[in-house]
Amino acid sequence: MRHKIRWIALSSVIVALTVAAILFFTLDQKYDLHYTVSAPQVKEGTLEIVLDVQSTPLSKDRTVSFYIGDKNIAIQSCTGADGVSVPAQQTDDALSFALKRGGKVSLVYQISLGASGKHGQRGSVREDYCVFDGGQALLLPMEFYQDGYPQEEAVVRSLQVSMNPREGWTAVLPFEELREVSWADAYNLSNDAFAMGNFTQYFSAEQTGGAAVYGLAGEEARFSEDLSSGVAALRAYYAQRFGMEEQPYQILLLPDDGEAVIGGAGIHSVCATFDETSRRDWELLSHRMFHAYFDSRIPTQTFHAAPNLWFYEGLATYYENASMSALPEKQREQLGIRPEWQFQSLFNRYLTIRIKDPALFSFAPMDEALISESEGRKEFLHYIQAPLVVKLVEDRASELSGRQDAVLHAILADPDADFSCAALLSDLLGAEAGEVYNRWFQSEELLPLWEEADPSYPEQRALDDVADVETMLASWMTSQLGQYPCDLPDLETARRLQNLPIFQEASFADAETEQLVKEHCPVIWTLLKQYALRAQVCGVPFDEPMLRYALLADEENLQKWEDWLTTQGVPVDNTRANIQGESS
């Protein structure tokens, strides 16, 4: 009997060892990532990051590759647990090295912050704070950047980010640890804001519907109860639409010291320069909140690339404008917000550029991939044209169903479905879907949002709309084209000329469109008439693809216009002051 027991025990041990051996040689556990971030004072505007890549005994030998393609990076060292250098291969896009079973590699690198972005300086290291987004500073596995890689498949077992703050600083992190990290986690991490500095919490999550609000210490005057009420109102607005009551969120609001900074905007956190008295800053905050809610509910790649990205950004910008109605009345009055004017302002910008510069800014939204190399044209589509397309669909869907937020609710009703704009329109608009899709999704036809016109819309606000879109496009396009002349509105000159027969006869579109523009916004009609007259005086056809450059960047034509104005008794001293190039 004893021999039998011993044999059974020995057999059990053998089986256990065999199973362990099989597991050892067949299992391949994922690896762990731990980032430790410092902001050394010896090198301005730079982060130093230690990335520890840890394998487990149940992980096979592998080569790990990290994406570095869009980063201003300097590798300091790459060593194993024994301190011995590990060879690393670096290309334009990737950094790779071997990771042994149960091994550890420490990669030390530096990243420069502060690149110019569409909403300001991307990341910053200052005397009293350091902020950055995850995609800017944290190297992530190449799998997350590969087309066709399964978005549900986890690549990393665990991921942590630690801060090594300067003396007196505190860290504000969007999460403690991510487990089984897949594409959606990596995408959200790339957008989230990370911060350390002289930060303090001014409002708790309980005060604002789940959003803890931080700012620099000693700035109590910037964080009024009105600010708390505004944040809470936007949170409630989106919670109602997305059915998510208490989504944890961090808002870090930086002081405006003359240079805008964006430190990230993801599902967990947002960090940006913020002025409580700026309507634009409230719009941007709302836009970023929309993305946070949407990406939490629909963690898929579907909406993050053409041909659907434009519609997603259009949806976010649509709600950026629609949500302004949710702000408390006192704030709306202080900010000059009239909810019914939000989309008229957007349509004013759209009309101005579509008519003045059709060669560059006439395109079908579904052709987004064809214009992806032009940042300026893509920005125009995403943030000016697309939200108006969404509004057109939303208005028609609401008329048919009697329900608000029809577009968003249709998407949320089946978040796992393969999204397509054509299918969405079919569900929402029925028999009208084909016409809407063909005319405003697949063609360059001018959007018919003339009913947005409000006769009480202030003349100065219309001028601001034109100036804002001109300045915006100059900043977007100049980096691509070297110079994009910015034609700031000169209504005074136009008013001096508007009674001349030649002014009335100048044409910027067919008679029906001109009449629609005039009824919608007389200021824009007058400015476009002036532009058409200028083309006529300079002898340049209005349909010339390079009309803007011919009128605003050609010295001979600049002189022709000034000479002609002089013959009409119009002062020309400040004519060229309204044209800006790279300085815009």
pLDDT tens for residues 374-401? 888 999 999 999 999 999 999 999 999 9
Domain boundary among 253, 276, 299: 299
pLDDT exceeds cutoff 60 at 25: no
58 with 127, same domain: the answer is yes
Which one has a higher pLDDT value, 18 or 205? Answer: 205
Q: How, if at all, do strands 211-216 and 249-254 pair? A: parallel
Maximum mean pLDDT: which of 20-29, 151-160, 569-578: 151-160
pLDDT tens string 526-539: 999 999 999 999 99
pLDDT exceeds cutoff 60 at 18: no
Contact between 360 and 370 under an 8 Å Cβ cutoff? The reply is no
The DSSP letter of residue 368 is: G
Domain-located, residue 5: no
Domain-located, residue 128: yes
Domain boundary among 255, 279, 299: 299
Domain-located, residue 14: no
Instruction: Dihedral sign for Cα 514, 515, 520, 522, please.
Output: positive
Strands (E), 186-279: 193-197, 199-203, 211-216, 249-254, 261-265, 269-273
286 with 388, same domain: the answer is no
Distance separating alpha carbons of residues 13 and 381, to the nearest angstrom: 67
Average predicted confidence (pLDDT) for the chain: 92
Domain-located, residue 1: no
Domain-located, residue 21: no
Domain boundary among 428, 452, 476: 452
pLDDT value at residue 248: 87
Domain-located, residue 26: no
Alpha carbon separation from 310 to 30, 366, 380, 396 (Å, rounded):
35, 8, 10, 20
Distance separating alpha carbons of residues 109 and 186, to the nearest angstrom: 20
39 with 175, same domain: the answer is yes
pLDDT value at residue 21: 46
Distance separating alpha carbons of residues 37 and 495, to the nearest angstrom: 58
Q: Sorting pLDDT into bands at 50, 70 and 90, what band is 346?
A: very high
Which amino acid does the sequence have at 350? Y
235 with 310, same domain: the answer is no
Distance separating alpha carbons of residues 290 and 237, to the nearest angstrom: 10
Phi, psi of 159 (to 5 degrees): -140, 130
Q: How many domains does the chain have?
A: 3
Residue 226's CATH number: 2.60.40.1730
pLDDT exceeds cutoff 70 at 214: yes
pLDDT value at residue 28: 78
| Of residues 452, 434, 453, the one with CA closest to residue 443 | 434
Contact between 531 and 550 under an 8 Å Cβ cutoff? The reply is no
42 with 175, same domain: the answer is yes
pLDDT exceeds cutoff 70 at 584: no
pLDDT tens string 176-198: 999 999 999 999 999 999 999 99
202 with 344, same domain: the answer is no
pLDDT value at residue 3: 59
Give the domain range for residue 275: 31-299
Scanning 482-574, the segments in alpha helix (DSSP H) are 491-497, 501-505, 511-520, 522-538, 547-552, 555-567
pLDDT value at residue 2: 58
